[in-house]
Structure 1
């Protein structure tokens, strides 16, 4: 099989989306529809934008593209008439897009959640897993008969629609045990084999239910996939055991079995600015791909150049207001996957986009940028630690998440537990900020585009001052932060949200240290306390967490993603 170089193609569907903060996890179906069809401006712009996107990415060697989603392309007699008309319009539009992709030798893969539901079909399924699997099997069989250009389907099982998602279909976490996944695959794979299509099963999960550690737990992995032997099955893994963060070694599950696998990367860094400023991942990605060389049957990679996260930035990669730095990462991932050295990739990018910039200056710029990202967005001492809560490998970022900076005395106390060398943390932050200023000077002196750098500097100055607060480097940090926040909001419309909650916390250090020691572990293997307390006992509390979600954790956690209570299921 020709190795897959897959890229997400959802960007063209966001041209007319005008909400302040965008959920980039899926096409905003509800916002591109009328009561019984699709908006005229959408039907006009999407095919042209899609052609542009396909031309640009296929020229880099990408040979497959992903589109959302199966639910909106398969008709059902039980659906109401207006939904059937919408599906008819989607089918016509997607045929045009698939033809464009095919003309540029790009395979089309459709995404889907397991499971998606419309209220009209619930009486057919009756909450029965076997009936649901059969209904989905029939849907996929019809899909492949109707759309011969579809190469396969990508199934997401461990994450469902966020609480902010609107529309005719809602997805739910349907698979709860490894055996549920196995039964689903056994039921569906014959359809894929008959039609010679690929079923790409994503292991990513937010940690809900017993199957929630499938993305890192070898036992769970074997329970779900161990007895399945099908050329139609491809298992998709993120490069690390957590989300798209730095400081993560390659996921050991790539070496767990001989199943076909693909690796997921993110060019548009949702936790590192969404493309607003430089965040080059070439060196990290090259190391990951080097570490993967002993793994058997890695048949492709999947690159997200638009998908992922909640943020205010409005760039559409290769289309409108495109980020130079996302395009750089997209090029770099393609070339490194093709066997090119990172320095060769940097040279190709410079020759293509910045031919007048001196080689040494551009390398200096990127090197400093690497220091800025790794030493200011992350606290290195904490990021180097391997921490698990219940079924999740915790992210190595703590107080900067998506486009939010959280400044809170509780976070300060948590950092005090895990970061022992405060002086190192302060010095790394200060040195990183100085590197950012030097980086901007290098850009100005050598013709490197400076767009976004003033925004990065203002944002990272707040992050650096937050670090001073967290590690007691500047006693006046709380007052300075409030002033910086007001000035920052005046200067930048598409800014980070700076959430400041200062004052004395009721959480004292010694109890918190004990609680964190109880709740968190520094290895993947479960302890007895996890089995008894953090998994079983906390599971009993998730209905309360749902009821009081607005009072637990950051406010945005109750309005975005799946709700904080999902972590306790």
Structure 2
């Protein structure tokens, strides 16, 4: 009877865990309301947007070929050769060169009708002299004081020239902005970086007042709280930021403190709602309810809320941002001219129609739309894209089309966008009617072509919730990273599985459109009378687009056909032919563009890793079947023998390597060591030889269960069902719970008073081992390494904010594991020492 009760309880625990896992991983699919061109625009009340702001473009960004193409850092390293870490703190020669570019950029954007510029800076310009005695943060002879005085002098030249050209200046900073001295001050006076403490924000409040006093030219401060940390900080430079403002309370206290200063000085605080799903305020960017919850109580004429135009990041296939259709605050719409998720705009990618639709839609519903903020350069990992800085270096032509049209639309939102498209083409290519018509058609179709080429359209057109969050429509190809993680590939297939052939046909039909555009351009090329210096670059751009999209098309075909086989079985010829075509296309892509800084090759590393694992599926399946036979043989021949424990250990180790297709050496080696620690502990200290068979039986059954799954269609079959099948997850959790708890129960029922402390000690050693591995190797680094080997979750998660931030995992977890392991060891070793039972 007790065995029946134990089985029922174990299964109940498994089902409980399975249900929670199903709730977290449940896939929800629904249609999206994507932006459509407006038919009726109110022309009787045209509204020129008051604020038309740009970023700094390519000003101060060094285009060094030796330093391009290797990093996913989001730090643009603007001014890195101008502002020095040591005295004299500024290279005058470098500054003068940058200042010339700055003046050209101001002249260029002001001529287009922009009237404001965003310049990064805050912490490097203030000394916190209004705080207490004025020496609270920096000593009078501090290197910070000396540096800031020099920097203020040079920044003032930026501000003065912008003011001469009637360009308002907004400074930009991440919060929490920190350096070494400021951290010491907080820990000394507050005890920690407590962002919910009013005293914490008083420090920044004093700094902001000092800034406004120093610089009457500065119109306001832009604040972002949603992204910060190492990926944005400049290595070796004692100024950076930390992602700490995650709660509603901290946001409100921060803004109230800053607004108090802004109101006194008649300046503005521009708060960005960008929050990337992190913390309590993680969805204020796209969710009107959360937006109101966070910002609804704030009411100030000096507050401007800045928000991206779409319901997410600057991805394609997204609805317009619902928070921009309502609200009492002044609103600024963020636009990106150099689209980071669309080949960084090195291919034709015209956003005029989208921006026209978005701005007019918002204006029709929200009278508080105050302006736009156009990013001509900002966004994403700059040096992973083409070596292009607007408007100074590389192929910035396609970006310029977006800059021009956005400027014109902001000043004349009621005018048809076709007017500005035609105007830009005529200015850049001449007045020939055939040239204008062909180039306008190329531009008008370009964004749709680009969006389809870089996504799997049937997936991108749907609103997908999975993995506990909204899945980006561009997740298949994020920046230049072509993904092959089992979680994403399973979702891509799951959404498309009812029309795989139609999806593949649509993917390849796009290549025909691109070829037609190339042919049309070659016909009009001789008739182009202006901007002929652009023609070679345009031809290379169109050729690059065709090659890239063809390579991606073959990879998409392989991915969909392979998962179709994993799901349904049948012939393997379709996906094997597709994988060969993909490998040929990728090889050609690398031969043409690897090392090319103007048209860089995409990163197919993870895609190749996935295809190599797929090719191993066939022999992994047969090895799994052989292992099933081996397990059955061991159960028959050695179940009562002395070699049963060793056999179980060997099977578990083989299964681990087999489950990872022998392609995860770090993950497999670390867990193999853990297995050895556990099985040696069982043999030496806990389980009598006569009980080996009974103790190991649940683990053998669990190994058999996993082997049977692998023997069907390999590890991908396990992962496909894990990510998409509720029933499978319930079964997996039920069997796992039954076998693991059964094993522990059997261990403890053999002389409980002796076995329990020894088991605690062995488990403690295991926890210390894992805690040490993750502490020494670095928690984030080890998670990223494991993920790249296992292809579990998207590779981009470790390349943006990091897996710990995305999944909200405490970074101190390895230390907790170490402490817990040490505690278990102590709890286990003390009774054993008293009894003298450790031998």
Q: TM-score, normalised by structure 2?
A: 0.62
Instruction: Report the counterpart of residue 85 of structure 2 in structure 1.
Output: 35
Instruction: Report the counterpart of residue 603 of structure 2 in structure 1.
Output: 497
Instruction: Report the counterpart of residue 67 of structure 2 in structure 1.
Output: 19
Mapping 1:471-482, distance limit 5 Å: 471-472=560-561, 475-482=576-583
Contact 1:83 1:168 in 2 (8 A): no
Instruction: Report the counterpart of residue 180 of structure 2 in structure 1.
Output: 119
Of the three residues 253, 269, 291, the one matched with 2:323 is 253
Contact 1:376 1:432 in 2 (8 A): yes
Mapping 1:206-217, distance limit 5 Å: 206-217=276-287
Instruction: Report the counterpart of residue 298 of structure 1 in structure 2.
Output: 369
Instruction: Report the counterpart of residue 126 of structure 2 in structure 1.
Output: 74
Of the three residues 338, 346, 367, the one matched with 1:276 is 346
Q: Structure 2 vs 1, CA of residues 89 and 393 (structure 1 numbering), >3 Å: closer, same or farther?
A: farther
TM-fit CA distance, 1:392: 5.4
Instruction: Report the counterpart of residue 329 of structure 1 in structure 2.
Output: 402
Instruction: Report the counterpart of residue 8 of structure 1 in structure 2.
Output: 55
Query: SS of the residue aligned with 1:421?
Result: helix
State the distance in 2 between where 1:249 and 1:334 align. 22
State the distance in 2 between where 1:564 and 1:496 align. 22
Of the three residues 505, 523, 527, the one matched with 1:445 is 523
State the distance in 1 between where 2:798 and 2:465 align. 24
Is 2:802 the counterpart of 1:563? Answer: yes
Query: SS of the residue aligned with 2:333?
Result: strand
Q: TM-score, normalised by structure 1?
A: 0.89
Which range moves more in the overlay, 419-428 or 18-27?
A: 18-27
TM-fit CA distance, 1:188: 1.5
Which range moves more in the overlay, 76-85 or 356-365?
A: 76-85
1:438-491 CA-to-partner distances (Å, cap 9, x unmatched) read 111111111264242222222111111112112227642222333333332232
State the distance in 2 between where 1:351 and 1:546 align. 51
Q: Structure 2 vs 1, CA of residues 322 and 436 (structure 1 numbering), >3 Å: closer, same or farther?
A: closer
Instruction: Report the counterpart of residue 720 of structure 2 in structure 1.
Output: 509
Instruction: Report the counterpart of residue 232 of structure 1 in structure 2.
Output: 302
Contact 1:262 1:301 in 2 (8 A): yes
Query: SS of the residue aligned with 1:386?
Result: strand
Query: SS of the residue aligned with 1:204?
Result: coil
Q: What value does the CA root-mean-square deviation take over the aligned residues?
A: 2.7
Is 2:237 the counterpart of 1:172? Answer: no
Task: Answer 1 or 2: which has greater strand percent.
Answer: 1
Task: Answer 1 or 2: which has greater helix percent.
Answer: 2
Q: Structure 2 vs 1, CA of residues 354 and 183 (structure 1 numbering), >3 Å: closer, same or farther?
A: same
Instruction: Report the counterpart of residue 551 of structure 1 in structure 2.
Output: 786
Which range moves more in the overlay, 175-184 or 20-29?
A: 20-29
Mapping 1:404-423, distance limit 5 Å: 404-407=481-484, 411-419=488-496, 420-423=498-501
Q: Number of residue pairs matched?
A: 546
Contact 1:213 1:392 in 2 (8 A): no
Instruction: Report the counterpart of residue 426 of structure 1 in structure 2.
Output: 504
Unpaired stretches in structure 1, ≥5 consecutive residues: 519-540
TM-fit CA distance, 1:243: 0.3
Is 2:546 the counterpart of 1:457? Answer: yes
Instruction: Report the counterpart of residue 156 of structure 1 in structure 2.
Output: 224
Instruction: Report the counterpart of residue 589 of structure 2 in structure 1.
Output: 488
TM-fit CA distance, 1:30: 5.1
Larger radius of gyration: 2
Instruction: Report the counterpart of residue 353 of structure 1 in structure 2.
Output: 428
TM-fit CA distance, 1:296: 2.6
Q: Structure 2 vs 1, CA of residues 2 and 337 (structure 1 numbering), >3 Å: closer, same or farther?
A: closer
State the distance in 2 between where 1:124 and 1:410 align. 44
Of the three residues 531, 547, 557, the one matched with 1:468 is 557
Contact 1:242 1:392 in 2 (8 A): no
Which range moves more in the overlay, 44-53 or 476-485?
A: 476-485
1:373-420 CA-to-partner distances (Å, cap 9, x unmatched) read 132212222112223468854321122111222345654322111223
